[in-house]
A and B are shown apart, each in its own frame.
Chain A
Amino acid sequence: GAVVSQHPSWVICKSGTSVKIECRSLDFQATTMFWYRQFPKQSLMLMATSNEGSKATYEQGVEKDKFLINHASLTLSTLTVTSAHPEDSSFYICSARDHEGFNEQYFGPGTRLTVT
């Protein structure tokens, strides 16, 4: 199947700083990418949907000014957690939809963010 990568796989940052997470579709073009967050022992929660070249659409309750999403190319989307706080510590997972196939959606391996 298609491959989605994320970088970094884990990151530790201090409160008040910002951290950027990259999501790449390696062998297909993805006009739509998704960002999820997962807390321990919980399911994935959809944060936002991004379409290449346009503004992201955020789910209810997700602060767009805190979680900045950029989808500048057909293979790259970034999530920036601004002014991070310990409660932002979570597992962040991106996903990309392959529009050439049967609309299958592939997930990255996730990024573990710890805010101290």
Chain B
Amino acid sequence: DAKTTQPPSMDCAEGRAANLPCNHSTISGNEYVYWYRQIHSQGPQYIIHGLKNNETNEMASLIITEDRKSSTLILPHATLRDTAVYYCIVRVFNRGAQKLVFGQGTRLTINP
């Protein structure tokens, strides 16, 4: 089972920052938080990941709370092409393997 909870849908105006929340209250100390997005009928696209510290790359920023029980993905200047389902995932160790177990994600719609 996925260890994350996300709102099912969100809307954001084009050009504004999109802030996508994620709860992962049962995360363990060595488990990473990953964010992917999936545009309709395509494979998921990697966005960013982190463990404790906030992270930033050319696509987004990831803010992880100090207790690591929640995080926020920030798309600083959303465009129409950012419309997608965004998945927050805790990479788990299970039966000796690291796995990405997807939850239901947040359907983000960017409005013109």
Contacts and interface: CB of A to CB of B under 8 A. Distances in A.
Interface stretch (B15-23, B61-69, B76-84, B98-106): B98-106
Interface stretch (A71-79, A81-89, A101-109): A101-109
Nearest to A49: B97
Interface in B2-58: 32, 34, 36, 38, 41-46, 49
Interface residues of B, number: 22
Contacts, number: 53
A32 B49 CA distance: 19
A44 B97 contact: no
Q: Is the interface of A mostly helix, strand, loop or mixed?
A: strand
A116 to B, nearest CB: 20
Contacts of A25: none
Given A32-B97, A105-B100, A44 B44 contact: yes
Interface of A: 1, 4, 6, 32, 34, 36, 43-46, 49, 57, 91, 93, 95, 97, 102-110, 112
